[in-house]
Amino acid sequence: MKISLNWLKKYIDLNISPEEISEILTAIGLEVEGMEEIESIKGGLKGIVVGHVLECVRHPNADKLSLTKVDVGSIAPLQIVCGAPNVTAGQKVLVATIGTRLYTVEGEAWTIKEGKIRGEASEGMICAEDELGLGNDHSGIIVLPNDSKVGQLAEKLYNIQNDVVFEIGLTPNRSDATSHIGVAEDLAAYLKINNGHSGKIKYPDLSNFKEGEGNGGLTIEVVDIDGAPRFSGILLKDITLKDSPDWLKNALKAIGLNPRNNVVDITNFILHEYGQPLHAYDASKITGNRIIAQTLPENSLFVDLEGKERKLSKEDIMICDGNGKGMCIGGVFGGKESGVSGTTTSIFLEAAHFNAKRIRQTSTRHLLRTDAAVCFEKGSDPNITVHALKHAALLIQELTGATIGSHIFDIYPVKIEPRKIDVKYSHINRLIGDNIPAEKVNEILAALRIEIVKADGDNITVAVPTNKADVLREADVIEEILRIYGFNKVAIPEKIVSNISYKPNPDKPALRNKAANLLCGLGFSEMMAVSLNQAKYYEQADQDRLVYINNTSNIHLNVMRADMVHSALEAIEYNANRQEVDLKMFEFGRIYWKEEEEIFEKEKLSLFITGNIYKDSWLEKIKDEHASFYFLKSAINNLVNILGVDSYQVSETENPIFQFGSKYHRGPKILLEFGILNPKICSKMGVKQEVAFGELDWENIMKAGAKNKIQVVEISKFPKVRRDLALVINDSIQFGEIENIALKTDKKILKNVNLFDVYKNEKQLGEGKKSYAISFEFQDQEKTLKDKDVDKVMNVLIDKFEKNLGAFIRK
């Protein structure tokens, strides 16, 4: 939000620098994100002076040019060649002297230089309106009054006022600071408490407002009281639409608004003065001379100010005419047919207070983030509508010649009173961490216009002004006090008190970091997807388990995600469309489901690999068609090892999302699943390449590894012994089965089992057979192993492989 220093000075006396104001605004919670000095006229008329045309004759070489002598208060008159048809001797004019910088309509700078025009020297330029940014007229030069002083600077003649604009990062809760008066009130409170300022605010003078008589032929009805708790308005007639005066144009330009006409500019001015949005209707277009604030049936059509047809929600607050036709989406956006146009001569001016929550919903539903909607959704002040209306009416009378055509309509069935909140002085000091005397607290509350309505020892009851919609409880009142008291005044404690704390087991953040570090070391990148998906992804799923949400800003994201795989595939598809096809990513996230009326969520770790595992290299590439599967398996095995999960079963997964894969489990409790994704699922998401995907049940994994403690064992001084076996087995047997048998057979000296070769040949091995080459490593901590020690274990292993797996030992 932009705040103009010149505007602020209308309401509060400020004798401090813009830099000091910036510091104070930030200190009171209105963080200044930027500060810019701006000129109401580009260049500020620097170098432009008043001149007196002493002579004016026709140029000897050009009929349409004049050769002039102009006195600008220097030693000698300047000779200037001028092409304006209205230049004559005796005039007082504005002259751009040599070196003056001027600006084109597009804002490009150019400099006046001495030169010759058609053979005659020219030492400056006599200026027209558009050349100085004073208007759009280029028909002739500016002719000043005869009493204008020669040599006077144009910036003083036109009283050019530069401005300083503060860019404030207004937080969503600060309904009291959406206007210049609101910011001035906050500044005044701080300056009164900390700088000896009077704290007085110069509110707009409304004493000249005279209300009209009767209803001007209009009737107003509010059907939707919840949506429009207060609805005020007034009829204005005999309006003449034209450009706004310079002071109003400059005020709006300073805060980034483009002036349009006097009526529209006044409504924008009042919005940024009071924080009260106004809306002007062409009174001649109000069918039946009746205005109704109501809702319309679902999917009713409405053509907005830009000509776009919109389907309305039954929750939208609509301002309708006598036929029930929408003229405006209340508090958000106007309609095309009822708006002010070049032929408008009478208007109905609306100043309403709308339900903040419903305005926010409507604004996001229709993607209309207008200034009015932003103001209303923070919670506008219901008790300033008539004040804002009166000031707007006075300005419209002054700038358009309008007359008041009615009394003020003010439909306010239930007055919204200041909120009463109980506060304890002791709680103030406890939360702030400083001992602020009760008298000081009372001064601060008074400066904030928060009235103390009851006091009883340590207890007070305060009435919070209705412009502070975010102050709802005692802690909020204390925060208001602290803002004005000053954060920097709170003493830093001389001692620090802390409690002994113990890490939980399992330590979730530590385990998460450990897993993330490992995966990053393996070349994975962490991703973060939103926890929302499209319901169409789960057409084949149990619809009763889906958690639907009402997402008004992105209506297609209408369910909480029920799995991690669709988020992964969305990321793959997004990257593939941008020629990034070699991906290794992981994500910590949650999935959601519903059972009856209860909603559950569970933390997961997903990871996937697609495309080439390694970047292109002159080194030999991995050629196995499912290399990504084995790389993923290796990463998962490393993960479960560092997380302390060391006892689990390995089975083939039945999950339909996989073409093939494995699951690690303890009985029915699944720890993780991984494999190659079903191509049909990938294709449905627009992914054409093979994807290896794994999903870990993070909660089960942490529980499985929680009780396992790290054991430190001395490195053995004795050598390892390796033996190899070639086992001919059925195709259905997995290496995991062989590994499990081996490690259960001997837990003392057998240290490692590894598959180092797979061989398939139906002619040599038979149909449905394969040969696994497996290495076994043995080592003892206390002695050097002898052949008989190893042979004894190997014979037992061979016997079990033959009996349990039907294996044949190749020799």
Question: d(Cα 502, Cα 458) in Å, to the nearest integer?
Answer: 38
Backbone angles phi, psi at 393, to 5 degrees: -65, -40
**What gap in Å lies between CA 250 and CA 164, rounded to an integer?**
12
Residues 191-214, mean pLDDT to the nearest whole number: 93
Contact criterion met (CB below 8 Å) for 236 and 350: no
Instruction: Give the residue among 320, 267, 331 at the shortest CA–CA distance from 289.
Output: 320
CB 248 within 8 A of CB 310: no
Question: In this structure, what are the phi and psi dihedrals at residue 551, rounded to the nearest 5 degrees?
Answer: -95, 100
Greatest distance between any 2 Cα atoms in the chain: 127
Residues with Cβ within 8 Å of residue 726, at least 6 apart in sequence: 771, 772, 773, 774, 809, 810, 811
281 forms beta bridges with: 348
The residue to which tokens 């809702």 are assigned? 295
For the chain, how are helix, strand and coil distributed in percent, rounded to 5?
A: 30, 30, 40
Closest to 661 in 3D by CA, of 684, 690, 686: 690
Rg (CA), the chain: 40
Residue 15 has pLDDT above 70, yes or no: yes
**What is the CB neighbour count within 10 angstroms for residue 617?**
8
Q: What is the pLDDT of residue 759?
A: 87
User: End-to-end distance of the chain based on CA atoms, in angstroms?
Assistant: 83
Section 594-599 average pLDDT: 89
What CA–CA distances, in Å, run from 19 to 25, 162, 542? 10, 16, 61
Strands 525-526 and 583-595: parallel
d(CA 516, CA 511): 9
Angle at 720 between CA 716 and CA 722, to 5 degrees: 160
What is the C-alpha separation between 752 and 739, in angstroms, rounded?
A: 9
Q: Which residues contact 106 (CB under 8 A, 6 or more apart)?
A: none
Confidence check: pLDDT of 262 > 90:
yes
Asked whether the beta carbons of 481 and 430 are under 8 A apart, the reply is no
Sign of dihedral through CA atoms 609, 612, 617, 623? positive
**Mean pLDDT, to the nearest integer, of 20-39?**
89
With bands split at pLDDT 50, 70 and 90, how would you rate the model's confidence at 560?
very high
Per-residue pLDDT of 417-447, as tens digits, reads 999 999 999 999 999 989 999 999 999 999 9
**pLDDT of 626:** 55
Residue 78 pLDDT level (bands cut at 50, 70, 90): very high
Residues 484-535 have pLDDT tens digits of 999 888 888 777 777 777 777 778 888 899 999 999 999 999 999 999 988 8
Q: Please tell me the number of Cα atoms within 13 Å of 763 on its side-chain side.
A: 0
719-757 pLDDT per residue, tens: 999 999 999 999 888 888 888 899 889 988 999 999 888
CA atoms of 182 and 200, how far apart (whole Å):
13
Preceding peptide of 506 cis, ω within 30° = yes
pLDDT at 739 (0 to 100): 87
Provide DSSP, 750-806.
EEEEEEEEEE--HHHH-TTEEEEEEEEEE--SSSPPPHHHHHHHHHHHHHHHHHHH-
Give the per-residue pLDDT at 703: 86
Tokens coding 610: 């697609």
Q: Which pLDDT band, with edges at 50, 70 and 90, does 104 fall under? A: confident
Torsion over CA: 143, 145, 151, 153 (sign): negative
* Residue 473's pLDDT band (cuts 50, 70, 90): very high
Q: How far apart are CA 645 and CA 358, in angstroms?
A: 51
Least confident of 131-135, 196-200, 380-384: 131-135
pLDDT greater than 80 at residue 555? no
Tokens of 666: 């303890």
CA atoms of 354 and 369, how far apart (whole Å): 16
Calculate the alpha carbon distances from 7 to 161, 254, 272 in Å.
Answer: 12, 10, 10
Closest CA to 217 of 407, 385, 390, 402: 407
Question: What is the predicted pLDDT for the residue at 624?
Answer: 52
Q: Rounded CA gap, 169 and 31, in Å?
A: 6
Contact 778, 756 (CB under 8 A): no
**Residue 382 vs residues 274, 385, 416: alpha-carbon distances, Å:** 12, 6, 7
Residue 413, Ramachandran bin (φ over 0: left; ψ between -120 and 50: alpha; else beta): alpha
> Which helix (H) or strand (E) element contains residue 627?
helix 627-642
Q: Is the pLDDT of residue 620 over 70?
A: no
Contact of 55 with 96, CB cutoff 8 Å: no
Give pLDDT, residue 405: 95
Token readout for 323 is 């036929």
Nearest to 50 by CA among 167, 130, 160, 146: 146
Q: Are 696 and 672 in contact (CB under 8 A)?
A: yes
At residue 44, the pLDDT reads 67
Give the percent of the chain with pLDDT over 70: 97
Judging by beta carbons within 10 Å of its beta carbon (0-12, 13-18, 19+), is residue 224 exposed, middle or buried? buried
Q: Is the pLDDT of residue 393 over 70?
A: yes
CA distance 589 to 674: 17
| Segments of 98-218 assigned E as strands | 101-103, 109-111, 115-117, 120-122, 124-126, 143-144, 163-168
Instruction: Using the structure block, give the residue that is written with the tokens 């300056």.
Output: 191
Predicted pLDDT at 455: 94
In angstroms, rounded to a whole number, what is the distance separating the alpha carbons of residues 609 and 691?
A: 6
Structure tokens at 144: 């000043």
Percent of the chain with pLDDT over 90: 67
Please give the angle made by the CA atoms of 237, 243 and 244, to the nearest 5 degrees. Answer: 85
- Average pLDDT rounded to a whole number, residues 141-163: 87
Q: What is the mean pLDDT of the chain?
A: 90
**Which among 101, 163, 161 is positioned nearest to 132, based on CA atoms?**
101
> Are the CB atoms for 86 and 140 separated by under 8 Å?
yes
User: Has residue 225 got a pLDDT over 90?
Assistant: yes
The residue with tokens 């009171």 is 28
- Reply yes or no on whether the pLDDT at 704 is more than 80: yes
- Predicted confidence at residue 302, as pLDDT, reads 95
Q: In degrees to the nearest 10, what's the CA dihedral of 324, 330, 334, 340?
A: 80
> Is the pLDDT reported for residue 586 higher than 60?
yes
- Sign of the four-CA dihedral 467, 469, 472, 476: negative
Q: Where does the pLDDT of residue 327 fall: very low under 50, low under 70, confident under 90, or very high at 90 and above?
A: very high
- At 225, the amino acid letter reads I
CA-nearest of 236, 242, 284 to 264 is: 242
* pLDDT tens per residue, range 441-472: 999 999 999 999 999 999 999 999 999 999 99
Cα torsion 289, 293, 296, 301 to 10°: value is 60
* CB-CB contact of 632 with 609 (8 Å): yes
Q: Which of 349, 415, 332, 334 is nearest to 381 (CA)?
A: 415
Confidence of residue 621 (pLDDT cuts 50, 70, 90): low
Over residues 265-295, the pLDDT tens digits come to 999 999 999 999 999 999 999 999 999 999 9
Question: How far, CA to CA in Å, does 438 sit from each of 243, 426, 457?
Answer: 54, 9, 10
